[in-house]
């Protein structure tokens, strides 16, 4: 067995044991795990401890995925052209009290240089830093080399960092959105001294990229007219291009600039914060070629040691009867960072959890971000990490379909918590290795500051 984690809804009711992760034949990875019923009631499909997300409408476990931060990809179980999953079928799922059930899924294999992976369980904290066995290992009763299979579902991951610039890594492209309020004086197109320091960092990313063409696009907010906005956005894009030409050291890089005025907003122009976001210059280039971590992978951490490392203080009055403990904050060699935290209802009235951790509390900017980026599922997607110095804020990872790499309490069907009931949530982030301490902010709660990142 590799590691164990509690099923998120109700500690002491069920757990997941990750048994093995090995390369199989036909360029596959086989994952085996076990669900153990630790409670006094049976676990059945659709019961409180098992959700529609874990057991899909097709009655299989294709909600389990692999997360590879080296290649920046999320892998889903293989299926046949008829959409039959190469995984455990659960049409008559039933685990009696004190018993267990073993499950498996066959995934497309990551590149050979990827030695560790994360296994994301919809209702349990993800297992991170898991070493992939060399195999080949056969899947129970399934030979992917003998089956006709549909094209593998492998989705790029999107990681977003907010600060004076916003860096968005969406798998194939790196997109850096630079605030015009930082780059330029009001209604001007001359780059400020402060902007040159920021563009130096962008140039280093371009130097590490295989791009032969860098695209620089200027944008304005909805104020003013096209006759003013479009030429201004074009001049600003050209000013950034000139700076980058002097800072990028790699040969053979060309530039393409455009000015779109207010035609492509990313936020609501009716608010001051939305207009600030829309005033931007976007620099886009091919994602720097990933390299596999050279640091040996540590043993996968347990979901929780049983003792919280910190607690969050509610600032939203309606959250006072809800205790939030930070169980763990760990980072594997690839930079994949996992936050686990537990909610405990201490009040006398049921607590409705839906949407609280996406949009309650916090700043308007964070609420706008959640709406603008349209996270699918993952009602804990509003949980963020941010640096005490530098002001960089790390958002929960999502895939190209905008599905959050976090716990989704809407899909679980569990929306009310009686007094004393608990739920353990998780969020996955991408945090660079030089960041050693970071703050955790859960909407509706005061930030938990300066937690150590291993």
Buried b (16+ CB within 10 A) or exposed e, 245-256: eebbeeeebebe
How many angstroms separate the CA atoms of 81 and 282, rounded? 40
- Distance between the two ends of the chain, CA-based, in angstroms? 24
Q: How far apart are CA 242 and CA 276, in angstroms?
A: 24
Q: Can you read off the two tokens belonging to residue 208?
A: 């590490």
pLDDT at 371: 45
Determine the pLDDT at residue 171. 62
Q: What are 404's strand-pairing partners?
A: 398
Per-residue pLDDT tens listing for the chain (454 residues): 899 988 765 555 788 999 999 999 899 999 999 989 888 888 776 565 555 445 554 567 888 999 998 888 999 999 999 988 899 887 666 788 889 989 999 999 999 889 999 999 877 889 999 999 987 788 888 889 889 999 999 988 888 777 655 666 666 778 888 888 878 888 888 888 877 777 888 898 899 888 899 999 999 999 889 899 999 999 999 999 999 999 999 999 999 999 999 999 887 888 887 888 888 899 999 887 666 555 555 555 444 456 899 999 988 777 788 889 999 999 988 889 999 988 888 877 776 654 555 553 334 334 344 444 556 555 677 888 988 876 678 888 888 877 888 876 544 545 566 777 777 888 999 888 888 999 999 888 899 999 998 6
CA torsion through residues 141, 143, 144, 148, sign: negative
Please list the residues that pair with 324 across neighbouring strands: 312, 343
Report H helices in 159-300. 180-183, 193-207, 226-247, 272-278
**Can you give the pLDDT at residue 366?**
42
Specify the fold of 173-285. 60s Ribosomal Protein L30; Chain: A; (3.30.1330)
On whether the CB atoms of residues 430 and 335 are closer than 8 A, the answer is yes
Cα–Cα distances in Å, from 190 out to 182, 230, 239? 11, 16, 7
Model pTM?
0.79
pLDDT at 54: 54
Is residue 262 a contact partner of residue 275, using CB atoms and an 8 Å limit?
Answer: no
Task: Locate all alpha helices (DSSP H) within 282-437, ordered by sequence.
Answer: 356-359, 364-373, 409-412
Query: What 8-state DSSP symbol labels residue 250?
Result: -
Please tell me the distance from the alpha carbon of residue 142 to that of residue 147, in angstroms, as a whole number.
9
Residue 40 is classified by DSSP as: S
Q: What is the pLDDT of residue 96?
A: 87
Cα pseudo-dihedral 244, 247, 252, 257, rounded to 10: 0
CA distance 341 to 328: 7
For residues 366 and 244, give the distance between their C-alpha atoms in angstroms, rounded to a whole number.
30
Say what the pLDDT of residue 52 is.
Answer: 43
| Domain ranges (residues) in the chain | 3-155+293-452, 173-285
What radius of gyration, in Å, describes the C-alpha atoms of the chain?
23
* Interior/surface letters 413-439, b for 16+ CB within 10 angstroms, e for the rest: ebeebeeebbbbbbbbbbbeeebeebe
Is beta strand 416-417 parallel, antiparallel or unpaired with respect to 398-399? unpaired
């Amino acid at each position: 067995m590799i590691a164990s984690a509690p099923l998120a809804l109700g500690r002491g009711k069920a757990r997941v044991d990750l048994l093995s992760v090995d390369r199989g034949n036909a360029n596959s990875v086989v994952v085996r795990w076990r669900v153990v019923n630790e409670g006094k009631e049976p676990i059945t499909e659709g019961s409180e401890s098992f959700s529609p997300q874990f057991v899909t409408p097709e009655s299989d476990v294709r909600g389990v995925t692999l997360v590879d931060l080296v290649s920046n990809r999320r892998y889903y179980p293989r299926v046949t052209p008829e959409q039959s999953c190469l995984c455990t079928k659960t049409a008559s799922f039933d685990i009696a009290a004190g018993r267990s059930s073993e499950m498996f899924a066959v995934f497309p294999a990551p590149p050979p240089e990827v030695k560790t992976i994360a296994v994301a369980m919809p209702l349990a904290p993800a297992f991170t830093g898991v070493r992939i066995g060399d195999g080949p290992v056969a899947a129970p009763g399934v030979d992917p080399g003998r089956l006709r299979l549909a094209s593998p579902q492998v989705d790029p991951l999107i990681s977003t960092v907010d600060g004076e610039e916003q860096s968005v890594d969406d798998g194939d492209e790196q997109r850096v959105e630079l605030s015009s309020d930082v780059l330029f004086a009001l209604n001007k197109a001359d780059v400020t001294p402060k902007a040159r320091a920021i563009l130096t960092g962008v140039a280093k990313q371009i130097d590490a990229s295989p791009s032969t063409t860098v695209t620089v696009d200027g944008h304005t907010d909805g104020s003013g007219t096209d006759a003013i906005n479009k030429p201004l956005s074009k001049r600003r894009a050209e000013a950034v291009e000139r700076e980058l030409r002097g800072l990028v050291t790699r040969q053979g890089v060309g530039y393409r600039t455009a000015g779109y005025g207010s035609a492509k907003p990313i936020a609501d122009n009716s608010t001051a914060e939305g207009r600030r976001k829309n005033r931007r210059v976007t620099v886009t280039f091919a994602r720097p070629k990933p390299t596999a971590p050279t640091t040996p992978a540590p043993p996968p951490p347990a979901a929780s040691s049983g003792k919280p490392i910190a607690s969050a203080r509610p600032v939203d009055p309606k959250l006072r009867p809800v205790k939030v403990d930070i169980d763990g904050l760990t980072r594997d060699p690839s930079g994949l960072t996992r936050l686990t935290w537990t909610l405990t209802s201490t009040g006398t009235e049921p607590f409705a959890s839906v949407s609280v951790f996406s949009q309650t509390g916090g700043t308007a900017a964070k609420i706008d971000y959640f709406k603008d980026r349209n996270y699918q599922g993952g009602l804990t997607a509003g949980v963020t990490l941010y640096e005490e110095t530098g002001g960089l804020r790390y958002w929960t990872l999502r895939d190209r379909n905008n599905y959050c790499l976090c716990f989704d309490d809407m899909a679980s069907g569990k929306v009310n918590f009686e007094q004393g009931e608990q739920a353990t949530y998780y969020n996955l982030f991408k945090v660079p290795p030089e960041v050693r301490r970071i703050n955790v902010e859960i909407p509706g709660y005061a930030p938990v500051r300066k937690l150590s990142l291993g």
